[in-house]
């Protein structure tokens, strides 16, 4: 996935609680654990933003379809008005 992160962004230390065995294994696979975690976090954020946009677009399409139906057929409640 394409990264959204900027190499110019300010970096700061953070505290994370991670499984010790996983961290040990990961350190054996990379010399830059922070870079790996940063890339994974960036990918996660991108996926979540895409999922939110898809959900929003789906809601917009559903609302448009309902509005078209309502214009053509009227509301179900029209036949049962108490006024």
- For 16-70, what is each residue's pLDDT tens digit? 999 999 999 999 999 999 999 999 999 999 999 999 999 999 999 999 999 999 9
Is the confidence at residue 6, as pLDDT, over 90? no
Q: Domain range for residue 49? A: 37-70
Residue 8 belongs to a domain: no
Judge whether 44 lies within some domain: yes
Stronger pLDDT, 76 or 56, i.e. the higher one: 56
Q: Could you tell me if residue 13 is inside a domain?
A: no
Cα distances (angstroms) measured from residue 38 to each of 44, 47, 49, 65? 10, 14, 16, 41
Residue 59 lies in a domain: yes
Residue 22, domain member (yes or no): no
> Quick one: CA dihedral 54, 55, 58, 64, positive or negative?
negative
Q: Which positions ≥6 away from 39 have C-beta within 8 Å?
A: 3, 5
pTM: 0.71
Domain count for the chain, please give it.
Answer: 1
Q: Is residue 21 part of a domain?
A: no
């Amino acid at each position: 996935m394409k990264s959204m992160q900027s190499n110019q962004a300010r970096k700061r230390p953070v505290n994370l609680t991670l499984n010790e065995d996983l961290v040990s294994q990961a350190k054996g696979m990379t010399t830059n654990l922070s870079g790996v975690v940063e890339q994974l976090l960036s990918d996660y954020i991108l996926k979540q933003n895409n999922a939110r946009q898809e959900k929003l677009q789906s809601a917009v399409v559903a609302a448009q379809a309902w509005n078209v139906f309502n214009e053509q057929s009227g509301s179900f409640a029209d036949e049962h008005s108490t006024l």
